[in-house]
Amino acid sequence: MENSEVLRQHEAHKARRARMGMSVAGRASNVYADVERMLADKRRLAREEAQRKADAEQAKRAAMDALEEKLRQMSASEINVVGTAVARFADQPAQQSEIIVGNPKPTMHRIALDILRIYPGVTIEDIKGDVRRRCIVKARRHVIAAIRLYRPDLSLPAIGRFVQKDHTTCLYAVRRFAQDRLGIE
């Protein structure tokens, strides 16, 4: 190729780029600007995701605090009417729960027995066992929540040793009992 031919091709190529709105320097700066825009978008999305996670975690903590407070308020009155529930399930005369009447620190066994009067046919051995029938699981959750309510001095591992379950199971049982009572999914 001659120099004039190369020069003509080069001029034609520059004209095409000019029609498309690009210059040689502009093309490099456009690529750089695109990369910067993509990186800025990526950083913005990461910040938004982190904010969404933080908001969700804060809402979850607030909901759990509200549930635990509601459990403290509701369960005392609910457990106080155990006699009514016993009368309904067992056709016995209503009597007030022994937990409430003059016993500042009832034993875990006493609390469990008192709560299990609501659940006919469920024994302490069932609560401590591995059976996962719905009636037994609900009774187990109720017992664990009542122990947690009436004996806040006991740790979850201590309650777990009593019911022969892990402490995380006890934590889940307390939270789930509160959710079931409040009708929250």
DSSP for 23-67 reads: -HHHHHHHHHHHHHHHHHHHHHHHHHHHHHHHHHHHHHHHHHHHH
The Cα 79–Cα 96 span in angstroms is 9
**Domain range 65-182, its CATH number among 3.40.50.300, 3.40.50.2000, 3.20.20.70, 1.10.1750.10:** 1.10.1750.10
Query: What residue ranges do the domains of the chain occupy?
Result: 3-56, 65-182
For residue 5, pLDDT over 50 is answered with yes
Q: Average pLDDT for residues 146-151, to the nearest whole number?
A: 90
% of the chain with per-residue pLDDT over 70:
72
Structure tokens at 109: 């066994």
Cα(111)–Cα(98) distance, rounded to whole angstroms? Answer: 8
77-97 confidence digits (pLDDT tens) = 454 444 344 334 434 433 445
Q: Which long-range contacts (CB under 8 A, 24 or more apart) does 133-139 make?
A: 138/180, 139/115
pLDDT for the residue 171: 92
Decide if 148 contacts 121 (C-beta within 8 A).
no
User: Is residue 173 exposed (0-12), middle (13-18) or buried (19+ Cβ within 10 Å)?
Assistant: buried
Q: Cα separation of 168 and 3, whole Å?
A: 82
Report whether pLDDT(161) > 90.
Answer: yes
How many Cα neighbours within 13 Å face the side chain of 59?
A: 6
CA distance 179 to 174: 9
Residue 27: band (very low, low, confident or very high) from pLDDT cuts 50, 70, 90: low
DSSP assigned state of 163: H
Best CA proximity match to 145, nearest among 70, 88, 81: 70
pLDDT at residue 22 tops 50: yes
> Is the whole model's pTM more than 0.95, yes or no?
no
| H-run or E-run covering 138 | helix 134-150
pLDDT in tens, 33-80: 777 888 888 888 889 999 998 998 888 888 777 767 766 666 554 544
Q: What percent of the chain has pLDDT over 90?
A: 34
- Does the pLDDT at position 178 exceed 80? yes
